[in-house]
Amino acid sequence: MSSKQANTDAQVPDPEVRPVGGTEHSWCRAVPGGTGVTVLALLLSKPPNLALLQNALDNLQVSHPILRSKLHFDSTTNIYSFVTPATPHVQIQPFDLASTAEIIRRLADPSVSPFHLIVEHEMEQNSWRDNAETAVMFASVYDLSGEEWVVVLRLHTGACDRTAAAAVLRELLGLVGGGTGRELGGKSKVNLGVEDCIPSGKTNKPFWARGVDMLGYSLNSFRLANLNFLDVDSPRRSQFLRLQMNLDETNRFLACCKSRGIGVCGALAAAGLIAACASKNLPDDQWEKYAVVTLIDCRPDLEPSFNSHGLGFYHSAILNTHDIRGGEKLWELANRTYMSFVNAKKSSKHFTDMADLNFLMCRAIENPGLTPSSSLRTSLISVFEDPVIDNSTEMHREIGLEDYVGCASAHGVGPSMAIFETIRDGQLNCPCVYPSPLHSREQVQGLVDDMKRILVDASSCEDGES
C-alpha cells in the first residue's frame, strides 16, 4: 500500500456502533416478518430534480445519523446494532416509465390509483428480511405517466417512528422546496434508545404485579374477538385504504371531541369497535371482547427530552380491552375507550409495561399459534394518541405536490387495522393499513365506510346522545 493510500484510509473514521435497545430489538424482530416497513410517498405533478433530491437526502443523513445507519445482526450473539458511517450513502433508485408500468400491471387493481399501488408495492419491499447488514433508509423515484411522479422513502420503523417520519417529510419538503439544499448541523452518533431515556423510577413494577399483568395479557389474548378472517393460509402483504372527511365534517367531529374532552384516538377506536361488531350481525345480547392498542410518543417525558427532530423510535404502547355488544352509542363508548387509555397512561403503564409488551410481541412472532387462527393479530385496531397535523404551503404547490401518504406495513404481527391519524389542511385523512388476504379490500372498505358514517352521524346530532 502506498503512503498516499494509507493517509487517505487513515482519514476515514471508523463507523459508530450502538447495540439496539429493547424496543428497537422487538422491531428488528418484527420487520423481517412484515410489520414496520415505513413508507413516505409523494405524488408530484412536476418531474423531480434528482440532483436536488439527492442533495436533500445527503443533508438529512448528515443532520440525522440514524438515517445513514445500517442495521447489523451478529448471528453469534443474536444482537442487532446500529452501524453508522461518517458519510451519507443512500442513493436514489429511479424507475422509468416502462419499469413502473410493469409494477402497476402486476398489481393491477382498478379500485385504487397507480399512486396507491406504488405505496402498497413499497410496503412489500422488505430489504431487512434476510440481510445481516442493511441500510435503514432507501429512496426511489417512479415515473407514473410522464406527467406524474412518485418519490418514496422507505424506512425501518425501529429507526424512525411515526413522529420521526413526519419530521423527515417536513425537512425533505423544505430542502427540496427551497430550491437548494440548505446545510444542516451534523452529528456523529445515533441517539440513545428509549429505555435509556426513561426517567428514574418510571419503569418500576413489583415482581408479582409484573407476573399478574403478563398472565392477564396472555389469557386475554385467547378471549379476544377479531374482524372476521377471510384467508388465514395465503402469504400476506399490506394494503391500505383512507378514512377521509371533508372540512365541514372534520370541524364538527373535532368540536364534538373537544367539547367532551375526548381525544381523536378515542373516537376513532370507538367507531372501529362499533363497526367491527356490527359487521358480524350478532344478537344484541352477545358480548365480544376487543383489544385496542394506543401508541404514545414518549419524547416529551424522556430525560433528555427530544423534540420531533430527535429521530429514532420513541413510542410506547398501551393495550386496553373492551367488552362490546350491538347498540353502543359512539360518544359513550368513545369516552370509555379514551378514559381507560388516559388512566393507564396516568399510571405510567406505557413505561411499566413496555418490556412486557415487547416480550409478548416477540413471543407471538416466534409462536404464531398463540394468536387466533395463527393470524398474528394482537388487537383489532391500533391508533396514535395524537394525530399529525399538517397544513400545505405555497412551497408544496411550487414543487407540484399533489398528494402524499405516510404509513407502515402491518401484515406480520399487529392489528387488523392500523390507523395513522392525520389532519391535513383541516381535513381528517387517515391511511388505514391492514393485512391482505387475511382481510380483503372490500371487507375493510366496508368497515372504513361504516366508521365514517358513525363518526359523521354522531358529530351531526345536536342532542349529543349518539
- pLDDT 10s digits, 259-304: 999 999 999 999 999 999 999 888 777 889 999 999 999 999 998 8
pLDDT at position 177 is 79
Q: Say yes or no to pLDDT of 62 above 50.
A: yes
pLDDT at position 306 is 77
pLDDT at position 394 is 67
The DSSP call for residue 65 is G
Rounded CA Rg of the chain: 22
More confidently predicted of 248 and 203? 248
Cα 292 from chain centroid (whole Å): 15
pLDDT band at 210 (very low <50, low <70, confident <90, very high): low
Instruction: Pick the closest to residue 262 from 324, 332, 322 (CA basis).
Output: 332
pLDDT band at 221 (very low <50, low <70, confident <90, very high): low
pLDDT at position 183 is 43
pLDDT band at 4 (very low <50, low <70, confident <90, very high): very low
> Region 211-235: what's the mean pLDDT?
77
Instruction: Pick the closest to residue 84 from 69, 67, 62 (CA basis).
Output: 69
The x, y and z cell numbers of residue 43, run together, are 405524488
pLDDT at position 181 is 40
Instruction: Pick the closest to residue 416 from 260, 257, 229, 147 (CA basis).
Output: 229
Do 162 and 388 touch, CB atoms closer than 8 A? Answer: yes
pLDDT in tens, 99-155: 999 999 999 888 999 999 999 999 999 999 987 899 999 999 999 988 999 999 999
Domains of the chain: 13-177 (3.30.559.10), 194-460 (3.30.559.30)
Three-class SS state of 172? helix
pLDDT at position 254 is 97
pLDDT at position 6 is 46
pLDDT at position 424 is 92
Q: Mean pLDDT, the chain, as a whole number?
A: 89
> Region 230-253: what's the mean pLDDT?
97
pTM for the whole thing?
A: 0.92
Q: Say yes or no to pLDDT of 78 above 50.
A: yes
For helices 354-366 and 207-223, angle between their N-to-C axes, nearest 10 degrees: 40
pLDDT band at 189 (very low <50, low <70, confident <90, very high): confident
pLDDT at position 391 is 83
Amino acid of residue 190: V
pLDDT in tens, 319-357: 999 999 878 999 999 999 999 999 999 999 999 999 989
pLDDT at position 49 is 93
pLDDT at position 219 is 55
Q: Say yes or no to pLDDT of 7 above 70.
A: no
More confidently predicted of 449 and 224? 449
pLDDT in tens, 403-435: 999 999 999 999 999 999 999 999 999 999 999
> Region 244-255: what's the mean pLDDT?
97
More confidently predicted of 130 and 244? 244
pLDDT band at 211 (very low <50, low <70, confident <90, very high): low
pLDDT band at 180 (very low <50, low <70, confident <90, very high): very low
pLDDT at position 182 is 40
